[in-house]
Amino acid sequence: MSFDISLAKRRCDRLIAAHVTAGDGVTVLFGPSGIGKTSVLDMVAGLLAPDEGHVRVHGVTLFDSTTRTSVPPERRRAGYVFQDARLFPHRRVEANLRYGERLAAPAERWIDFDAVVTLLDIGQLLRRWPATLSGGEARRVAIGRALLAAPRFLLLDEPLSFLDAARRDEIARTIEDIRDRLRLPILMVTHDAAEAERLATRIVRMG
Ligand SMILES: Nc1ncnc2c1ncn2[C@@H]1O[C@H](COP(=O)(O)OP(=O)(O)OP(=O)(O)O)[C@@H](O)[C@H]1O
């Protein structure tokens, strides 16, 4: 089982709850804006504390309220790609990627710099500053930085939002490549039904 997640949290008078049991591939959390999809990714990553529940990935417990287990975020081996890329603005693309690489213990690395650059087709961007990148380019670099940190799973928050049709297709193909070639389990959030249909191995509806 890739993901075994059951979480609940009260936030601003809203009860956020998610139940996911999923094998390999892309698991899409689908639901309307404000239902708590990003909050669920934050809880899986360890950035937000659930009120109760558990998070297990590949059988490893990352959080369990009954045993008061909570693995710190930096030890969860999550590759979290935020909706707004969050590249370091004062580092060139290559330095952003190298930052991810340095987060991975050498023994845990399963993909190297050149393979990531090829997979994401970002070789021509390495000397550029983040401020000069298009939305789609910035997102590809953010995915690359996440992969270089040797994650055991990826968390993608609205990876196709705010892009034109051609760029959306590009990122969608990248996600399909990661799903099919790297075989990395992906938990992805979207409120777009077509996006969910295209990429999902399974869809978990919230709300
Ligand atoms: N930092 C915060 N502090 C308190 N409440 C928050 C915070 N961030 C989000 N919320 C609330 O938690 C609820 C879920 O928000 P969340 O962003 O997880 O939803 P979402 O489904 O991802 O929405 P969207 O698709 O608009 O990003 C909302 O009611 C929101 O107002």
Per-residue pLDDT of the chain (207 residues; tens, 9 = 90+): 799 999 999 998 889 999 999 989 999 999 988 899 999 999 999 999 999 999 999 999 999 999 999 999 999 999 999 988 999 999 999 999 999 999 999 999 999 999 999 989 999 999 999 999 998 899 999 999 999 999 999 999 999 988 888 888 988 999 998 999 888 999 999 988 999 999 999 999 997
Residues near ligand 1 (Cβ within 6 A)? 11-12, 14, 16, 33-39, 191
The whole-angstrom separation of Cα 95 and Cα 46 is 25
> From atom 7 of ligand 1, which residue's Cα is the shortest distance away?
11
- Looking at residue 117, its pLDDT comes to 95
- Looking at residue 139, its pLDDT comes to 92
Domains and CATH numbers, the chain: 24-48+72-200 (3.40.50.300)
The whole-angstrom separation of Cα 116 and Cα 200 is 23
- Looking at residue 13, its pLDDT comes to 86
Using the mean position of ligand 1's atoms as its centre, give its distance from the Cα of residue 121 in Å.
Answer: 33
- Looking at residue 74, its pLDDT comes to 93
As given in the structure block, the two tokens for residue 109 are 């690395």
Residue 207 burial (C-beta neighbours within 10 Å; 0-12, 13-18, 19+)? exposed
Using the mean position of ligand 1's atoms as its centre, give its distance from the Cα of residue 118 in Å.
Answer: 35
**Residues paired with 31 in a beta bridge:** none
Ligand 1, pocket-test mutation among 28, 37, 39, 206, most atoms within 8 A of CB: 39
Q: The pTM is what?
A: 0.93
